[in-house]
């Protein structure tokens, strides 16, 4: 059989044919080979324990609104010029002084009947710091309504002394007499000037002065050298009514009614009866 001539040619062709490069595995990449595993000395250990604050490191809590003006409500530049010749009124900022006033007004433990924020709010007028720390207008409105109601109920219950409250009562020139009944003997007192006397701002301001409320009221008078012309009596009466309103909100109507009758109205009723009897005599 003749020799197979195609075998040497095929072998030569296989030798001369270029060899295809095989794809390398990604795990055998040169960069991955050069990468060194982290040693034990360079490895980091993450602690999951919470950091312990020392005794001197205390979280700073924001000050309450009554203590300072909120930063977001401050203007970068003051729009009003300060007159160097006028000395501004220095308002109270001592909490102990405020608590002493509440004890004199509300009795023993009176400084604990209201929260700190409400205690300062009740004695702060709208003129103080442009009202940015809160003011007592709404509390005073509620307290004034409570005083008027208790004053009306108190006058209606006074039948024996009702005639002493009618200063301007005139007798009929023809000798006619009005209808009289025990249930309506004191109705004329409400329609007269007695009710307005007990709820007038001048009377409330005089009562507030007895308890030391003007010493702790925070307000900005227009004329610091003349507080009466700036409306100090209205401010003091408003603070007194605001305390009554604050008691009604936080302690209930029973406590507010008792304070209004015993601490405010009774002081003026005794004095008013004496003055009326002296004039009638």
Q: How many CB atoms lie within 10 A of CB 129?
A: 19
Residue 42 lies in a domain: no
Q: What is the pLDDT of residue 70?
A: 75
Residue 78 lies in a domain: no
Contact 201, 234 (CB under 8 A): yes
The whole domain housing 266 covers: 88-168+181-279
Q: In the structure encoding, which two tokens stand for residue 88, read together?
A: 């501004």
Which pTM does this prediction carry?
0.68
Residue 83 lies in a domain: no
Average pLDDT, the chain: 77
Q: In the structure encoding, which two tokens stand for residue 58, read together?
A: 């205390």
196 pLDDT more than 60: yes
The confidence band for 86, taking pLDDT boundaries of 50, 70 and 90, is confident
Residue 49 lies in a domain: no
* Tokens 């004053």, located at residue: 151
Residue 34 lies in a domain: no
3-state secondary structure of 24: coil
Read off the pLDDT of each residue in 84-95 and give the average, rounded to a whole number: 84
| C-alpha–C-alpha distance, residues 121 and 218, integer Å | 9
Distance of CA 236 to the CA centre of its chain: 18
Residue 247 lies in a domain: yes
| C-alpha–C-alpha distance, residues 124 and 164, integer Å | 37
> How many domains in the chain?
1
Q: At what angle do helices 232-250 and 201-210 cross, to 10 degrees?
A: 80
Residue 144 lies in a domain: yes
* Residue of 239, 172, 168 lying closest to 201 (CA atoms): 239
Contact 152, 195 (CB under 8 A): yes
* Tokens 């000050």, located at residue: 63
* Residue of 110, 160, 138 lying closest to 263 (CA atoms): 110
Q: How many CB atoms lie within 10 A of CB 268?
A: 19
Residue 74 lies in a domain: no
For the stretch 205-252, pLDDT in tens is 999 999 999 999 999 998 888 899 999 999 999 999 999 999 999 999
């Amino acid at each position: 059989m003749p020799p197979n001539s195609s075998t040497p040619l095929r072998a030569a062709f296989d030798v001369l044919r270029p060899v295809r490069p095989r794809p390398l595995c990604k795990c055998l990449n040169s960069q991955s080979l050069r990468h060194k595993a982290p040693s034990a000395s360079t490895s980091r250990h993450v602690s999951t324990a919470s950091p312990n604050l020392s005794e001197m490191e205390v979280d700073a809590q924001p000050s309450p609104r009554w203590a300072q003006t909120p930063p977001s409500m401050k203007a970068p530049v003051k729009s009003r010029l300060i007159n160097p010749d006028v000395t501004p009124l220095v308002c109270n900022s001592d909490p102990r002084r405020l608590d002493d006033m509440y004890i004199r007004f509300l009795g023993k433990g009176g400084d604990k009947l209201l929260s700190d924020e409400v205690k300062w709010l009740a004695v702060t007028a709208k003129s103080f710091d442009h009202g940015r720390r809160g003011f007592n207008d709404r509390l005073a409105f509620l307290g004034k309504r409570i005083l008027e109601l208790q004053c009306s109920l108190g006058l209606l219950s006074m039948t024996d002394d009702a005639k002493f409250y009618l200063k301007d009562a005139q007798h009929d020139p023809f000798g006619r007499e009005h209808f009289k009944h025990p249930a309506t003997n004191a109705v004329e007192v409400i329609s007269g000037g007695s009710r307005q006397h007990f709820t007038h701002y001048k009377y409330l301001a005089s009562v507030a002065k007895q308890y030391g409320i003007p010493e702790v009221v925070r307000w900005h008078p227009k004329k610091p050298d003349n507080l009466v012309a700036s409306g100090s009596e209205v401010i003091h009466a408003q603070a007194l009514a605001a305390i009554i309103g604050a008691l009604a909100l936080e302690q209930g109507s029973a406590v507010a009614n008792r304070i209004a009758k015993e601490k405010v109205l009774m002081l003026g009723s005794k004095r008013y009866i004496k003055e009326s009897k002296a004039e009638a005599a």
